[in-house]
Chains A and B, each alone.
Chain A
């Protein structure tokens, strides 16, 4: 950043009123991750009883990219996400998130990372007894107890708005929201802590095409504005074409390929070919090509 080391620049403690909270009890100060790969997975094995979901799976996610994760049903996309965020303890292998190992992290150290990612679960997973705004405030209250009520409400208000919800939705309970609005509210909660990493589990599933396209644009905008790294599980080919920088393909218990869509199309793996060159895949590709050509003519005319 452009400023010098700030401790020296900050005025002495006497000039500012005493901090409102006991410093010793606060969690450690999170630092920004500036390595190349915020998520590094090596040799991951996940098995449930006899059934092996992942065998020797490796994947690196680049900082600042939107990585789409695709795979047939039951190939363990959600299990992979759950492993990365520490909800599923893998049988073997190592996972590093933001430079910290998740697989051998103690609970205390985990918490430090947990304030730096946001997770959107498939159904939104909102707390049903709290309003949308209160849902957004939960992680803030948890990690930053020194923030006072007025600011909390303001933060919740603008997060709700950033997520594309009307401001009056903030006072509603999840049961009063439609499926699409629940997803947006879930996204608002995932963004509550200004995370560096965002995990989205099928964000556009169950949305109408217009809502899905809007959600895609929103994800892209947020990634560009906030500099997020996004780990996005999806079945939506339009999402892949529109916003994903790279796509990871899960099949045969591993990540069989990672790359841009043209790179993937160049491979002659049968599943990848069927996935992207099936009728739906071609339709998505065509619509993207059309969109591009429209863009070009507009630019050319201007």
Chain B
């Protein structure tokens, strides 16, 4: 037979047997590959059928056997002319009613909507309690570690610091350098209208130190490391690695979470400052070429126009942002229970929550610092 030949679909003929009874004669290959189109036509048959003749079937498998058996059952027809193999296959499939539930049970819309809303609200409540509990468990662990500093995982901390901090240097630096350029350029365009182009330096310097450096870094770290934490821990939950750790007596919070949280908190401070510096360099770079302010003049003016408390504002905010990102990542990762899809959704949630919380907290910080006179 030519392999590229058209498929010979299974078919049937309606015949009239003895006494005018209708006999359906199945013909062709009743296999999974050929039975598709004939099935709906067999289903559409109505009227009384006395017998189903299988003698014209050239080949049969369980799918064909099922189709024949179901048709015969629905019409209370007898099966005739079945080969030995066909009979064996029919015997194998006939136990199934074929009307079993395939999809999980779903309630009516009227029930489902309030239920979903209720679940959501309860979920928020439980989530809040869960986060506080998680924070508590972490603080207790941290307290244990302070009392037994020998158990502290220095190597894990260094490894995480490398992943969160050192390997992010390139991308964070490049991003903030470019943002610095944009700020300086846009600022200069506006300030030029007042003849105050020189204030571009103030704008770039103060913005970079107070807000931009830390905020942009936080977003990047949330995307890079917060998501990684959630995915790693989530997968470890699925493969029962975390359960295995517990049974061995290793606390997962001590071994996995504290190093990550600590690394993220510390590295955010360093990365945030580094990012601010890169943004200022970006501004200076643009000023040198587009505004006619020499590079080093720009940098030395920065020292004069940026008050030192701007640096402190950035440095104080950074560890809080790092803590939020790491907590969101680790907490969401540890909540994974069922399947691979949940790892994905928890990872997404970790990043979204982290960035949202960072921005909310940033707004609070802005009000706080201006009220304490660091405006």
Contact = CB atoms under 8 A, between A and B. Distances in A.
Contacts of A35: none
A3 B57 contact: yes
Count class of interface residues, chain A: 35 or more
Contacts of B339: 128-129, 173-175
Contacts of A167: 96-97, 100-101
Interface string B177-197: 000000000000000000000
Interface of A: 1-3, 6-7, 9-11, 16-17, 19-21, 23, 26, 28-32, 115, 128-129, 131, 133-134, 140, 143-144, 146-148, 150-151, 153-162, 167-168, 170-175, 191, 193-194, 225-227
B247 interface: no
Nearest to B11: A10
A157 B5 contact: no
A147 B35 contact: yes
Contact of B56 (A9, A23, A140): A9
Nearest to B60: A1
Among B36, B39, B55, B341, chain A packs the most CB atoms within 10 A around the CB of: B36
Given A147-B35, A171-B102, 6 more contacts: A2-B55, A2-B83, A21-B37, A128-B341, A167-B96, A171-B105
B170 interface: no
Contacts of B340: 128-129
Contacts of B37: 17, 19-21, 146
A31 B34 CA distance: 11
A164 to B, nearest CB: 11
A170 B5 CA distance: 36
B33 A3 contact: no
Interface in B92-110: 92-93, 95-105
Nearest to A174: B339
Contacts of A3: 27, 55-58
CB-based closest 3 A-B pairs = A128-B339, A146-B36, A158-B96
A29 B3 contact: yes
A31 B1 contact: yes
Q: Which of B3, B31, B102, B337 has the most CB of A within 10 A?
A: B102
